[in-house]
Amino acid sequence: MVGKLKRTVFKHFFQVGMATTIGILFLWSCSSKNTTELHKIEHIIVIGVDGMSPDGIQKAETPMLDTMIVNGAATMYARSVFPSSSSPNWASMLMGADTEHHGITSNAWQKHDHKLPPVVVTEEGTFPTIFTLYKDQTPEAHVGAIYDWDDFGRLFEKTDVAFDINGDHEDGTTTDAVAYIKEHRPNFTFVHLDHVDHAGHSMGHGSSGYYTSVAKADSLISEIVDATKEVGIFEKTMFIVASDHGGLGYGHGGESPAEMTVPFILYGAGIKKGYTIEETVYQFDNASTVAYAAGLEQPQSWIGRPVKGAFIGNEKPVIRYKKKEMISAPRILPSTGHFTPAGGVFRADSAKVEMQNPNNDGTIHFTLDATEPTVESEVYGLSFYLGRTTVVKAAVFMENESQSTVSEGNFRLIPETKPAPVMYEVFHGDKMERLPEFKVLSPVFKGKVDDFSHVGILGNTARKEQVALVMESHLEIDYSGKYTFFINSDDGSKLYVNGLLLADNDGNHGVLERSGSLDLEKGKHLIRVEFYNGGGGYHLDVRYKGPNVPKQIIPSNKLYTKAN
């Protein structure tokens, strides 16, 4: 009986043990391929191209990037962090975390001069970067940073890298990177190119000059890839090509998809060929993906996730919630630029409205009362005229559903004989990073315009940078109640109502909106706007909403130079 019991117990444990062993072997067999592929990755090169948008890759001549996409893994829908300016995004790319974690919230950030401290710090007092992980976990690794933009170097500790060089423009930076790769065969290299961003600021995103700069970036990336082939490490090298932000018009830093959407491309050792990355990719996932490929442990303070689905041997993730595909929004004409609604100021009794559907299909539905258009709204057919200040909204509908974002037009009519109601003064400064102290400055000239905008002022002056404006007018309020004012600017601005600071939008940044609310009685109220542009693109507009007033650009017919 005892022998039978022993045999039964042995048989039971043998079966359990075999099942466990088989399970372990099965798990090992499932993961061994991935582990093997990761072991093939001995070198990682991240190439960050400042200001390179998906649109730039799609429309410029980019044979190297096209090869990487076809023979690697890519998405054109990666997301920047906010604000969509350089320092916050390069920091997030290096630090595996968002702005509220590492505290680099603007281009004005300095290690010992900032508002928001990082949530955790290294011994050097900064948030841990991917360079820090290499230094702490694989100190024998050779790690280098070669960058075109001077301020990139302040985002990491120099003691964390073996090689640190501030290159000479894009050509010199690439030459330095190629020489570094050939001499040291580094384990991790971060290369930063800045010229595409300069093209966006000087010639405009989407311009022929901008696309030419993207094509040049492609040729420089090709030089870096060729360097790995020349020294025999190409087959063991994984490449990441990414960008900090896109752009709109001559600037960036705002919330538009054109500014917030960036490319993310994986290519080379360990990466699937022809893999479309459908999972969400955020800026801070870049560092996590490098750490995963290098076998480094990610710190708890990071929030990034490696893009595992792009690696050979890993299953494609199940995507339950997917991005909604949108068609192009209708165009309302006349256009007023990238950051303000269509329409504009018309010194006439009426204004012509035209709309265009840029899609091959669909119907435009629109409203004239600032409400969101529905399938029940009026269908656009032919151009028409407006006889009063009006907010127009339109969207493209297909199969009785809106398939586009909503386009907006603010048409502001003003009598031909009415004097320009907004008084302004222009000031010149030097090294402005915030609004100047206007009391100690003298205006270089004065004038009057129709609304609170840079249009008609900066557009007609020889100096566009290191320039500031002060604008004042009296706004007529028809109904007492709570009003909200919005100031939208690049760079900084402030808005005062009756001497009260209502919206503070100061500092260097892309097009960014700030707002404030207060109760106003019926009558006229003094509006003061202060604005400056330190450099690059610029923009200013002021909007409001209140009782019986939908959100809109403050209309010129409600503005007066005097209170009485």
At 361-392, the pLDDT tens digits run: 999 999 999 999 999 999 999 999 999 999 99
Instruction: Convert the pLDDT of each residue in 105-137 to its tens digit.
Output: 988 899 998 889 999 999 999 999 999 999 999
The rounded distance, in Å, linking the Cα atoms of 130 and 393 is 46
Res 5 pLDDT > 80: no
* 3-state class (DSSP) for residue 481: strand
**Given the DSSP bridges, would you call strands 363-367 and 390-398 parallel, antiparallel or unpaired?**
antiparallel
- The residue behind tokens 């065969």 is 185
pLDDT band at 9 (very low <50, low <70, confident <90, very high): very low
* DSSP 3-state percent helix, strand, coil across the chain (nearest 5): 30, 30, 40
Instruction: Convert the pLDDT of each residue in 378-429 to its tens digit.
Output: 999 999 999 999 999 999 999 999 999 999 999 999 999 999 999 999 999 8
Residues forming a β-bridge with 542 = 487
Tokens representing 389?
């200040």
Res 216 pLDDT > 80: yes
Res 21 pLDDT > 70: no
So what's the pLDDT on residue 19? 43
Kindly report the length of the chain: 564
Are 312 and 35 in contact, with CB atoms under 8 Å apart? no
Are 389 and 411 in contact, with CB atoms under 8 Å apart? yes
Tell me, rounded to whole angstroms, the distance of Cα 226 from its chain centroid. Answer: 30
Task: Report the mean per-residue pLDDT for the chain.
Answer: 91
The rounded distance, in Å, linking the Cα atoms of 72 and 275 is 6
- Ramachandran class of 431: left when φ > 0, alpha when ψ lies in -120 to 50, beta otherwise: left
Right CATH number for 34-310 from 3.40.720.10, 3.20.20.140, 1.20.210.10, 3.50.50.60? 3.40.720.10
Specify the CATH architecture of the domain 331-413: Sandwich (2.60)
* 3-state class (DSSP) for residue 537: coil
Instruction: Convert the pLDDT of each residue in 149-181 to its tens digit.
Output: 999 999 999 999 999 998 889 999 999 999 999
So what's the pLDDT on residue 339? 84
So what's the pLDDT on residue 15? 44
E strand or H helix at 553: strand 549-553
* 3-state class (DSSP) for residue 374: coil
Nearest to 162 by CA among 193, 185, 192: 185
Specify the CATH architecture of the domain 422-560: Sandwich (2.60)
Query: Which whole number is the average pLDDT over 17-31?
Result: 41
Are 529 and 494 in contact, with CB atoms under 8 Å apart? yes
The rounded distance, in Å, linking the Cα atoms of 167 and 177 is 9
So what's the pLDDT on residue 354? 97
Query: What residue ranges do the domains of the chain occupy?
Result: 34-310, 331-413, 422-560
Q: What is the DSSP string of 240-272?
A: EEE-S---BTTB--SSSHHHHEEEEEEEETTB-
Phi, psi of 526 (to 5 degrees): -75, 125
The identity of residue 418, as a single letter, is K
The rounded distance, in Å, linking the Cα atoms of 281 and 301 is 18
Res 553 pLDDT > 60: yes
E strand or H helix at 238: strand 237-242
Res 98 pLDDT > 70: yes
So what's the pLDDT on residue 6? 37
So what's the pLDDT on residue 34? 63
pLDDT band at 223 (very low <50, low <70, confident <90, very high): very high
Question: What does DSSP assign to residue 564?
Answer: -
